[in-house]
Amino acid sequence: MKKKLISALMCATMVSTMLAGCGSGNGGSASGGDTESEAAESEVVTNTYGDSKGTHLEMWTFVELHAQHYGTMVEQWNKDHPDKTIEITCTTYPYADMHTKLITALQAGTGAPDICDVEVGQFPNVVAGKDKWLVPLDDYMTEYKDSMVPARLDVYSGDDGKIYGAPYHVGATVMYYNVKAMADAMGISNDDVIAKIDNVKTWDDYEALGTEYVEAAGEKGTKYWTSVDTGGTDWLWLAMAEYGDDWTGGFKDKANVQLDSVKNMLTMQQRWLKNQVAEVSPDGHVDLEAGFQNILDHNIVSFPKAMWYMSRFTNYMSEEKGNWYIAKCPVFEEGQKCSVGIGGTGTVVTKQSKSQDLAAEFLCWAKMSEVGEQNIWDTLGFDVCNTDCWTMDSFAKDENNQYNQFFINKPYEVLNSIGLDNIGKISSVAISPTINEYTCNTTLNEVLEDPDYSVDDALQELQDAVDAEQN
């Protein structure tokens, strides 16, 4: 059992170093991974916060900004709860080291922290122990659960239906558009460009606008409408969400990658490549340095990505302030879901904690309460899971917030227009690393580097690889 779990963990870690997602910033894991606000740390950093006379908790993470979040929250907790103060030591480990260390400690029954971040792609390995290893959080989140996005809680559930991880963000996928570059190329005003974008409802509409832009730009083969990814599965996750599909099969069914949703997206992308409406993303996806530069050079002017990608603009493309507009993603058929939650880190409480109740109560408060969500939005830039915050003017429309200042429209206006019921999810289960690794190492390269390659053949090859693993 131990060897199998460690092998799966290593496989997922290998994927995380080369695919687009969260937890490793400039090149995180597949869409099931967790790309958030910073790259995964390469050194061990330890900081202690709170009341030295309070209950001591150990917390592990792989992103130092996450640790700083808990540092801020424990200070507020101690002010609000003087009868049960906390001191928390947060240790930031390198991404792979932390997850391996956690699995080893859980299996050994000793050495695990009270609280630990778990990247979503690694979550199946950790939740395998369910309540033998982890504390179910259901009873501790009752005050917030009705306001939380259900799809994000589901991601951090076990096959017993209990919730074992508290999320940082929705990771709702949206479409980013460079309004200024489009207006300059098309010879129209920014308002006219925004009107055209707002009229995009379907992928046919999106392709038509892209064709119009590429022709107006007059640099076919140099300037493209968008880029498609060989190193990440975001586009495919979006397609599956629109059709209500899940190629993993979840906890109950076997994986099936030969889905119409996946086939339709890949076939459409092949057409875009042939017509030079799209290019293959430099280095495989937009969440790497080459991707940032491609955006800065205006070689592409639109692409879908989760809302956490906003921090990439502020951190790496600050000169683009005021140029970009956020909108709903197009759908294949009107009425479909128009978004999918991508990436994420679920924070768990381990059964080895000597203060399980306090650790779980503090964790849910720090990540689900309005005060906790405010700090997550302000400092990490994530689209928070507590939907009560989405409509609070002081939260969602704060003119001092850097993301409200950077984009033409306010991000939470877009999130509200998408709505709670239109954000789909793809499960993160044991077979996920196999699907993601083969898709990004082989399938996407086959069909996108060679737009004449048979999509059916490529998906059959992928299915064969998956079947070999799950049979």
**Residue 181 and residue 165 share a domain:** no
Q: Report the C-alpha gap between 291 and 337 in whole angstroms.
A: 27
**Residue 50 and residue 35 share a domain:** yes
Burial of 297: CB neighbours in 10 Å, binned 0-12, 13-18, 19+: exposed
pLDDT in tens, 54-73: 999 999 999 999 999 999 99
- CA distances to 46, 261, 296, 366 from 112, rounded to whole Å, are 16, 41, 43, 20
The label of the residue with tokens 């092998």 reads: 7
One-letter amino acid of 73: M
**Residue 145 and residue 106 share a domain:** yes
For residues 387-408, average pLDDT: 95
pLDDT of residue 420: 87
**Residue 421 maps to a domain:** no
The domain boundary residue, chosen from 330, 364, 390? 390
Cβ neighbours, 10 Å, residue 130: 16
**Residue 465 and residue 329 share a domain:** yes
Shortest CA distance to 345 belongs to which of 108, 14, 102? Answer: 102
Q: Which residues have CB under 8 Å from 316's CB, separation 6+?
A: 289, 292
Phi-psi region of 116 (alpha: psi -120 to 50; beta: other; left: phi over 0): beta
For residues 124-139, average pLDDT: 95
Residue 171 has pLDDT above 50, yes or no: yes
Residue 23 has pLDDT above 70, yes or no: no
Residue 3 has pLDDT above 60, yes or no: no
- Mean pLDDT, the chain, rounded, equals 91
**Residue 412 maps to a domain:** no
15 or 246: which leads in pLDDT: 246
pTM for the structure as a whole: 0.89
**Residue 218 and residue 181 share a domain:** yes
**Residue 299 and residue 379 share a domain:** no
**Residue 190 and residue 112 share a domain:** no
Task: Give, rounded to a whole angstrom, the gap between the first and last alpha carbons of the chain.
Answer: 17
pLDDT of residue 264: 98
pLDDT of residue 379: 87
Q: Report the C-alpha gap between 241 and 328 in whole angstroms.
A: 14
Residue 22 has pLDDT above 80, yes or no: no
Number of domains comprising the chain = 2
Q: What is the CATH number of the domain that holds 443?
A: 3.40.190.10
pLDDT of residue 41: 60
Helix, strand, coil shares of the chain, percent, nearest 5, are 50, 15, 35
pLDDT in tens, 89-114: 999 999 999 999 999 999 999 999 99
The tokens for 264 are: 């339709």
Query: Which residues share a beta bridge with 46?
Result: 91
**Residue 400 maps to a domain:** no
Q: Report the C-alpha gap between 25 and 12 in whole angstroms.
A: 16
Domain that holds residue 246: 173-340+428-470
Residue 305 has pLDDT above 80, yes or no: yes
When pLDDT is cut at 50, 70 and 90, the band that residue 326 belongs to is: very high
pLDDT of residue 32: 40
Q: Report the C-alpha gap between 1 and 104 in whole angstroms.
A: 12
Range in 4-18, 27-41, 61-75, 101-115 with the lowest mean pLDDT: 4-18
DSSP secondary structure letter of residue 295: H
One-letter amino acid of 458: A
**Residue 195 and residue 156 share a domain:** no
**Residue 16 maps to a domain:** yes
**Residue 355 and residue 458 share a domain:** no
The domain boundary residue, chosen from 390, 417, 450? 390
Query: Which residues share a beta bridge with 59?
Result: 90, 115
Concatenating the DSSP letter of every residue in 179-234 gives HHHHHHHHTS-HHHHHHHHHT--BHHHHHHHHHHHHHHHT-TTTS-SEEE-SS--H
When pLDDT is cut at 50, 70 and 90, the band that residue 283 belongs to is: very high
Shortest CA distance to 372 belongs to which of 172, 169, 171, 163? Answer: 169
**Residue 417 maps to a domain:** no
**Residue 452 and residue 306 share a domain:** yes
Shortest CA distance to 256 belongs to which of 470, 50, 406? Answer: 470
pLDDT of residue 286: 97
The tokens for 245 are: 């599909």
Residue 25 has pLDDT above 70, yes or no: no
Q: Report the C-alpha gap between 345 and 168 in whole angstroms.
A: 6
Residue 17 has pLDDT above 90, yes or no: no
pLDDT of residue 287: 95
Q: Backbone phi, then psi, for 464, in 5-degree steps?
A: -60, -40
The label of the residue with tokens 């889905």 reads: 259
**Residue 418 maps to a domain:** no
**Residue 353 and residue 333 share a domain:** no
DSSP secondary structure letter of residue 132: H
Q: Which residues have CB under 8 Å from 3's CB, separation 6+?
A: none
Q: Are the beta carbons of 277 and 207 closer than 8 angstroms?
A: yes
**Residue 178 and residue 256 share a domain:** yes
**Residue 287 maps to a domain:** yes
37 or 239: which leads in pLDDT: 239
Q: Backbone phi, then psi, for 77, in 5-degree steps?
A: -55, -45
Q: Are the beta carbons of 347 and 360 closer than 8 angstroms?
A: no
Q: Report the C-alpha gap between 281 and 226 in whole angstroms.
A: 9
**Residue 110 maps to a domain:** yes
